Structure 1
């Protein structure tokens, strides 16, 4: 399962460059695509480990995002979740899926 940090719950939305503070994650396995909210987006402390746990519980093995901090990196490494970082601002989720050969 792949997760992409998202600004909204639609494929035309942009990838969110923020990992722990994004409002949604698009989850896909190449067949099924769905969105889940990030319940920790507004939290103050230790957001990254909780977001990583959320994604781990969704069977995510790769995350596509723009930026991750040191706590997130450590937590993702410990949970064996690969990070794919894209620095393109305002890239649509559809475009990210095409880049990863996951769109139909």
Structure 2
């Protein structure tokens, strides 16, 4: 399962460059695509480990995002979740899926 940090719950939305503060994640395995909300995006501190746990429970093996901090990196490594960082600003989720050869 791949997760992409998202600004909204639609494929035309942009990828959110902020991993832990992203309000949504698009989850896909190449067949089924769905969105989940990030209940921790408004919390004050130690967001990253809780977000990683949320994604781990969804059986995510890869995360596509723009930026991650050291706590997030350590937690992702611990949970064996690969990080794919994209530096493009305002890239749509559809475009990310196309880049990953996950679009239909």
Question: After TM superposition, where is structure 1 displaced by more than 4 Å over at least 4 residues in a row?
Answer: none
Partner of residue 32, structure 2: 32
* Displacement of 1:45: 1.1
Post-superposition CA distance 1:76-98 (Å, at most 9, x none): 00000000000100000000000
Secondary structure of 1:64 counterpart: strand
Map 1:2-13 → 2, pairs under 5 A: 2-13=2-13
* Displacement of 1:103: 0.2
Give, in whole Å, the separation in 1 of the partners of 2:101 and 2:68: 23
Partner of residue 43, structure 1: 43
Secondary structure of 1:51 counterpart: helix
Give, in whole Å, the separation in 1 of the partners of 2:6 and 2:96: 11
* Displacement of 1:7: 0.2
* Displacement of 1:14: 0.2
Unaligned runs of 5+ in 2: none
Give, in whole Å, the separation in 2 of the partners of 1:16 and 1:94: 13
Partner of residue 16, structure 1: 16
Query: Aligned pairs, how many?
Result: 104
Partner of residue 68, structure 1: 68
Give, in whole Å, the separation in 1 of the partners of 2:50 and 2:85: 20
Secondary structure of 2:9 counterpart: coil
